[in-house]
Amino acid sequence: MLNKLAIEVHENAKAHGWWEKEREFGTLLMLMTSELAEAMEEYRNGRNYTWYNCEHCPRREHCHTIPSQCLQAKPEGIPVELADCIIRILDYCGAKGIDIDEAIRIKHEYNKTRPYRHGGKQI
């Protein structure tokens, strides 16, 4: 399921010029991290929902739905920033041929065997 999406995401990134040369792993990790930081900013701004930046439309306001005149509106908000992080992860998986479906499956199965609050860590 995610492997197919990873290929599509990576093909789109290549088509938009992001893989004309090999990308450094550390840079890619920081780009993934920056999407999570953007999610934190949306949280701080109280936007735990998807909204649309309608700076291109004549009304120049933030909308909760896309009006017909805002076809160029950019989706924003916590869900969108989390999606951006996942998209960056899938792009890397697609680029490197990582079987992310299998990696998630085996890690989830392992996590099911771990004790309650393993490692004694506090919340």
Confidence category of residue 68, pLDDT binned at 50, 70, 90: low
Q: Residue ranges of the domains in the chain?
A: 2-15+29-110
Query: What is the SS3 assignment for 94-107?
Result: HHHCCCHHHHHHHH
| Distance between CA atoms of residues 80 and 68, nearest Å | 20
What tens digit of pLDDT does each residue of 8-18 get? 999 999 999 99
What's the whole-number average pLDDT of the chain?
Answer: 89
pLDDT tens digits along 19-40: 999 999 999 999 999 999 999 9
Contacts of 19 (CB under 8 A, 6+ apart): 10, 13, 95
Token readout for 39 is 């999610």
Integer Cα distance of 57 and 67 in angstroms: 9
Report pTM.
0.86
